């Protein structure tokens, strides 16, 4: 990658991805795009362009004008929001991806298109979910991700498009607010631990889900996109994860720094149903073998960095807890 077009640059992943890519490749090399513009570092720290990814002509023109050799396509509607707006989710998630693939085919770029553990569905093995297994998702978000994996595979086989991707677990970030994902509770838990010392989880006890800290997620994208193609047996939809945790495990990790932290539960039936259809713990051995995937952050290291960073970023008026 030398010149990169990034879609969804103001979202949870994109807001940190834009900053890191500019550190690695130079400010002018990364064109950040989104359907809106704000005052964040992602929008102000380098070239930025308004882009509706469902507009294929505008998508192509943005990539052509930037002379992009890689497109990182992050614009999408996430799980819980997608379930509330299924038609819009399909139009955005699939229409945007198809435009990304067509632009990539026409310009000869690389493409990164993320998938998700939501692609598996309730029929997949819950423990040690393998790289290759049933994809029978039960949500619109999962359906769009599973279909997206197949679409990327089709473009690779038919048009030799260099489309690569990861099945992301829940992602923990301190930069952008949660965006309607089922695993957003993890981010919220850290924020409320600093603000009030208590949190009410909408996901129930013992609901284990894979998670990853955002720096590991971004590093994994860069590593995969820079990997030697001859090593990649799949290219698309690699399982990646750093930890399998439930709300109580995160709370226990927080209590190492905030001993009085309280965790309560008030289950959201929609998000609980979605979580119950996802794996407890996935197998990322294919990514480790084919392009040396190695996460750097386990749960406790993630907790320490999240709490320390949030404590620095939040105004004093919003801090209700003292870190050990």
Rounded CA gap, 254 and 197, in Å?
Answer: 10
* Residue 100 DSSP class: H
- 141 as an active site residue: the answer is yes
Burial class (CB in 10 A: 0-12, 13-18, 19+), 56: middle
Choosing from 25, 141, 202, 213, which is the catalytic residue?
141
What's the angle, vertex CA 263, arms to CA 257 and CA 266, rounded to 5? 155
Of the candidates 170, 172, 208, the residue with the CA atom closest to the CA atom of residue 187: 172
Tokens 């289950």, located at residue: 267
Strands 30-34 and 4-7: parallel
- Contact between 117 and 135 under an 8 Å Cβ cutoff? The reply is no
Rounded CA gap, 311 and 315, in Å?
Answer: 8
- Indicate the SS3 state at residue 300: helix
Rounded CA gap, 248 and 82, in Å?
Answer: 27
* Helices 86-107 & 56-66 angle (0-180, nearest 10): 40
- Indicate the SS3 state at residue 25: helix
Rounded CA gap, 181 and 173, in Å?
Answer: 12
Rounded CA gap, 90 and 236, in Å?
Answer: 20
Rounded CA gap, 6 and 145, in Å?
Answer: 19
Of the candidates 203, 166, 198, the residue with the CA atom closest to the CA atom of residue 182: 203
What's the angle, vertex CA 91, arms to CA 129 and CA 20, rounded to 5? 65
Q: Catalytic residues, which ones? A: 141
């Amino acid at each position: 990658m030398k010149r990169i077009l990034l879609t969804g640059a103001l979202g949870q992943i994109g807001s940190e991805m834009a900053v890191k890519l500019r550190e690695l490749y130079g400010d002018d090399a990364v064109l950040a795009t989104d359907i809106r513009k704000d005052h964040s570092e992602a929008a102000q720290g380098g070239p930025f362009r308004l882009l509706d990814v469902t507009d294929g002509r505008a998508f192509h023109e943005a990539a052509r004008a930037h002379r992009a050799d890689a497109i990182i396509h992050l614009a999408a509607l996430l799980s819980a929001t997608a379930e509330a707006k299924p038609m819009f989710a399909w139009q955005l998630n699939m229409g945007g991806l198809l435009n990304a693939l067509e632009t990539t085919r026409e310009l000869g770029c690389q493409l990164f298109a993320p998938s998700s553990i939501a692609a598996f569905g309730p029929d997949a093995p819950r423990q040690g979910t393998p790289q290759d297994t049933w994809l029978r998702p039960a949500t619109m978000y999962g359906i769009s991700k599973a279909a997206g994996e197949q679409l990327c595979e089709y473009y690779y086989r038919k048009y030799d498009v260099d489309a690569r991707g990861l099945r992301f677990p829940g992602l923990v970030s301190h930069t952008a607010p949660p965006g309607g994902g089922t695993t957003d509770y993890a981010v919220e838990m850290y924020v409320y631990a600093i603000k009030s010392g208590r949190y009410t989880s909408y996901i129930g006890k013992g609901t284990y889900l894979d998670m990853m800290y955002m720096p590991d997620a971004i590093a994994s994208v860069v590593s995969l996109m820079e990997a030697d193609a001859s090593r990649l047996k799949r290219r698309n939809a690699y399982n990646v994860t750093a930890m399998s945790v439930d709300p109580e495990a995160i709370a226990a990790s927080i209590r190492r720094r905030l001993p009085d932290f309280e965790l309560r539960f008030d289950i959201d039936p929609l998000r609980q149903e979605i979580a119950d259809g996802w794996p407890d713990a996935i197998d990322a051995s294919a990514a480790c073998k084919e392009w040396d995937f190695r996460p750097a952050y386990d749960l406790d290291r993630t907790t320490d960095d999240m709490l320390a960073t949030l404590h620095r970023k939040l105004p004093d008026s919003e801090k209700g807890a003292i870190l050990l």
